[in-house]
Chains A and B, each alone.
Chain A
Amino acid sequence: MPDFLLQTVFNASYAASYMALIAVGLVLIFGVMGVINFAHGELYMAGAYAIVFFYVWSGLPFFVAVALGLVFVGCLGILMELTLFRPLRTNPLGGLIASIGFLLILQTLAVLGFGLRNQNVPPVSQGRITVGGAFLTYERLYVIIATIGLLTALYFFLRKSKFGWALRACAQDREAAALQGISINQTARYAMFIGAALAGVAGAMTAPLVAPSPYMGHSVIVTAFIIIIVGGIGSLEGAVVAAVLYAFVHTFVTTFYDGVIANIVGLLLMLAVLVVKPQGLFGVRERA
């Protein structure tokens, strides 16, 4: 493979990884809660700021800071569930609007705590893998590895554990789940913790590569929406496949044309999928 092609594959794999983390979290929350979480980009932002706080300011080792970021953002998810989504359980539109409010609060807190400017996060490693003339930095490789690790763990949790079954059952039929003794409140806490934590990890792991800012959530949320629509709203596998598809198309078009055209092509990709398969690539039938 020519070097520039391989280089673009490396770049696309990195982009696919963190976008998959974000999109899978968004789908998980939508599945169990029935709410579109508009604050998801800000949970990603909060993960990046956890790195600013724990790694840059407090001087903790990077991966310890990532773990703390995971827990911190996961707890933000639980906070959203307790204060916003639980009182609005029967009102998904209300949940969506409340999540927009939460988004603004998180942005404001980031501005108050850290200022408006972009944060500089010192590199975690200068290392890189070189293959011919193409290279993959360790920082990006860590993101890819973390994504594969976390999504594999999520897969086994959902398929092999009792609480994983409970999560899927709640997403499919809340009432029938209650009849099995599954508490929707408890399940919602799990889903919000996991979904938020995945976005938080994406923000934390990419923080050294993106120079965090309070408004960085905007850049990912639109892409995340495109991805979950292409994948089929409600489908976790779909979110992963669509993240890979989108990232490869977007990265290749950016490399060989430019970023604006890439965004347009991304939207066209979504339209094309919706025309051919309105429920998305892995979409399931309407829920009852």
Chain B
Amino acid sequence: MLLEVRNLHVHYNKVAALKGVSLQVPSGGIVTIIGANGAGKSTTLRSISGLTKPSKGEIHFDGQRIDNLPAEKIVARGIAHVPEGRRIFPDLTVEENLRIGAFLRTDKAKIESDIEDIFQRFPRLKERRTQWARTLSGGEQQMVAIGRALMSGPKLLLLDEPSMGLSPVMVQEMARIVSDIAERGVPVVLVEQNAGLALKLASYAYVLEIGTVAVEGKASDLQTNDHVRRAYLGA
């Protein structure tokens, strides 16, 4: 397994947000975490990338324990996190946002070719490369956030609700982008409220309910699971 989360507990000011979450991510494909508002999806991703410190439990990545490392050391290990709400740098240009994703890298030539690769994937960003990022539309900002994460050359990509606030057309575009990333060899952990979409994209799924894993299984099996259908797919 590329990533293993074991019995993770997180508290915010003594209130438990995660109460023993365990999950595994293989070194290919898409794993999704779905769940209602406040279930603890973002908290799970934030613990993996080091933004939030767990009070109990272990996180292993690539065979090494990482839960005691600060966020800037974890990205160096190869985990890129596109946080909830995108969190691009509004007063950097589009290109500066992308390049800062490669902050820790020193392979100059490969950085240049990766930038070109990002611009090929997202031609709209190329047209807007010198614009302040705050002037972009929501969908374009999401592309910047994903492009910035890819610029670190990650071994694992964490995506927190990439479809949030996007038009239906953009949501489909985003789905295509996420599948494409996984197909090109970067495994993805996808957090989504749009459970139907997430279960279509992913091969394996975890359903979080108030800080614990309520159901897990193959995404295709969960699509037909009664509880999941009633609670998350509106059936």
**CA–CA, A193 and B61, complex, Å:** 36
**CA–CA, A165 and B104, complex, Å:** 13
Residues of A within 8 A of B49 (CB): 179
Given the interface pairs A172-B92, A175-B51, the reply to whether A181 lies near B75 with Cβ below 8 Å is yes
The answer to whether A169 touches B100, judged by C-beta atoms less than 8 angstroms apart, is yes
Residues of B within 8 A of A176 (CB): 83, 87-89
The answer to whether B103 touches A182, judged by C-beta atoms less than 8 angstroms apart, is yes
From A168, A175, A182, contact of B87 by CB (8 A)? A175
The answer to whether A181 touches B104, judged by C-beta atoms less than 8 angstroms apart, is yes
**CA–CA, A284 and B132, complex, Å:** 13
Residues of A within 8 A of B116 (CB): none
**CA–CA, A175 and B76, complex, Å:** 15
CB distance from A246 to the nearest CB of B (A): 24
The answer to whether A180 touches B70, judged by C-beta atoms less than 8 angstroms apart, is no
Given the interface pairs A162-B103, A165-B96, the reply to whether A179 lies near B75 with Cβ below 8 Å is yes
**CA–CA, A176 and B49, complex, Å:** 11
B35-53 toward A: CB 8 Å interface, digit per residue (1/0)? Answer: 0000000000000011100
B178-222 toward A: CB 8 Å interface, digit per residue (1/0)? Answer: 000000000000000000000000000000000000000000000
**Interface of chain A, helix or strand or loop or mixed?**
helix
The answer to whether A178 touches B92, judged by C-beta atoms less than 8 angstroms apart, is no
A19 at the binding interface (Cβ < 8 Å): no
The answer to whether A179 touches B71, judged by C-beta atoms less than 8 angstroms apart, is yes
B9 at the binding interface (Cβ < 8 Å): no
B71-110 with Cβ < 8 A to chain A = 71-72, 75-76, 80-81, 83, 87-92, 96, 99-101, 103-104
B148 at the binding interface (Cβ < 8 Å): yes
A166 at the binding interface (Cβ < 8 Å): yes
Residues of B within 8 A of A152 (CB): none
Residues of A within 8 A of B101 (CB): 180
Given the interface pairs A165-B96, A165-B99, A169-B100, the reply to whether A180 lies near B75 with Cβ below 8 Å is yes
A183 at the binding interface (Cβ < 8 Å): yes
Residues of B within 8 A of A173 (CB): 87, 89
Beta-carbon nearest neighbor of B96 in chain A: A165
Given the interface pairs A172-B90, A172-B91, A183-B72, the reply to whether A178 lies near B100 with Cβ below 8 Å is no
Residues of A within 8 A of B81 (CB): 179
**CA–CA, A183 and B103, complex, Å:** 11
From A165, A168, A179, A284, contact of B83 by CB (8 A)? A179
Residues of B within 8 A of A162 (CB): 99-100, 103
**CA–CA, A178 and B49, complex, Å:** 10
Given the interface pairs A176-B83, A179-B51, the reply to whether A166 lies near B70 with Cβ below 8 Å is no
The answer to whether A169 touches B76, judged by C-beta atoms less than 8 angstroms apart, is no
The answer to whether B103 touches A181, judged by C-beta atoms less than 8 angstroms apart, is yes
**CA–CA, A166 and B100, complex, Å:** 7
Residues of A within 8 A of B72 (CB): 178, 180-184
Beta-carbon nearest neighbor of A287 in chain B: B90
The answer to whether B51 touches A178, judged by C-beta atoms less than 8 angstroms apart, is yes
B129-148 toward A: CB 8 Å interface, digit per residue (1/0)? Answer: 00000000000000000001
The answer to whether B83 touches A180, judged by C-beta atoms less than 8 angstroms apart, is no
**CA–CA, A162 and B103, complex, Å:** 7
**CA–CA, A176 and B71, complex, Å:** 10
From B87, B91, B103, B148, contact of A166 by CB (8 A)? B103
**CA–CA, A40 and B32, complex, Å:** 50
Residues of A within 8 A of B70 (CB): 178, 183
A181-218 with Cβ < 8 A to chain B = 181-184
The answer to whether A165 touches B100, judged by C-beta atoms less than 8 angstroms apart, is yes
The answer to whether B92 touches A180, judged by C-beta atoms less than 8 angstroms apart, is no
CB distance from B119 to the nearest CB of A (A): 18
The answer to whether B100 touches A180, judged by C-beta atoms less than 8 angstroms apart, is yes
Residues of B within 8 A of A172 (CB): 89-92
Beta-carbon nearest neighbor of B73 in chain A: A181
B152 at the binding interface (Cβ < 8 Å): yes
**CA–CA, A180 and B75, complex, Å:** 7
Beta-carbon nearest neighbor of A173 in chain B: B87
Beta-carbon nearest neighbor of A172 in chain B: B89
**CA–CA, A178 and B75, complex, Å:** 9
Residues of B within 8 A of A184 (CB): 72
**CA–CA, A166 and B72, complex, Å:** 12
Residues of B within 8 A of A169 (CB): 89, 92, 100
Can you pick out 18 interface pairs between chain A and chain B where the beta carbons lie within 8 Å of each other?
A: A165-B96, A165-B100, A165-B103, A166-B103, A172-B91, A173-B87, A173-B89, A175-B51, A175-B87, A176-B83, A177-B89, A179-B83, A180-B103, A180-B104, A181-B75, A181-B76, A181-B104, A183-B70
New contact pairs (14) apart from A178-B51, A180-B152, A181-B76, CB-CB < 8 Å: A162-B99, A162-B103, A165-B99, A166-B100, A172-B91, A175-B83, A176-B87, A176-B89, A177-B89, A179-B51, A179-B80, A180-B103, A180-B104, A183-B70
The 3 nearest A-B residue pairs measured at CB: A181-B104, A178-B71, A176-B87
